[in-house]
Structure 1
Amino acid sequence: MSQHTVTINVANKRLKVACPAGHESALLQAANEINQRLEQDAKKSQSVKSPEQALVMMSLNLAHDLLQTRNDLEQEREKMQSKIELLQATIEQAVNRPKTA
């Protein structure tokens, strides 16, 4: 997959980022998400002293969200697997039931 450079704005800084062809929209959405979170965090907290500190805090929040989502997905996968196993057992019982004449 070929790569080219895309210019994005994050935290009022213009950055050129290598991006695989066809992924430009996702990159721009990611930059937009970062900017929105930084703006929200700036409104909530007056304790952030610098843009770098704000980026670190926002990164920690994103990492936390990612880990929480992974955990939620794993729990959901386990529930689905349990339901599938129950369904398979029920089907096997129905198929293997002795036929009465």
Structure 2
Amino acid sequence: MASRNRSREATGGTAGERPGDASREARGGLPAVREADPAGHPPDAALIRVHDLAGRPRGTGFVADHHGTVLTSHEAVDGLSRLVLSTAGDRRRVVAAADVTPLPVL
């Protein structure tokens, strides 16, 4: 059976690549999107997973500064009295709702 994707065969690319990705990155454009590993860990140490106390995922955030400030969406923390922040290295910290500051207050 003949391949349905002849353009990638002709350019030597793999099935997961889009034509022009490497050249866009070389020109200073956006880098290719990185996927989470099979265990569900974020691809970067600055990314944080937000869970409720029962362990249900609520969202993600990222460490914004050297003080440990985490930015996330309002929906990830809304209605929780405490939340659990998890890093890529599976370090966890329970944070009280009083520690959450809305962005307009900053």
**Fold similarity call, TM over 0.5:** no
- Normalising to structure 1: TM-score of the pair? 0.20
- Normalising to structure 2: TM-score of the pair? 0.20
**Structure with greater proportional helix content:** 1
**Structure with greater proportional strand content:** 2
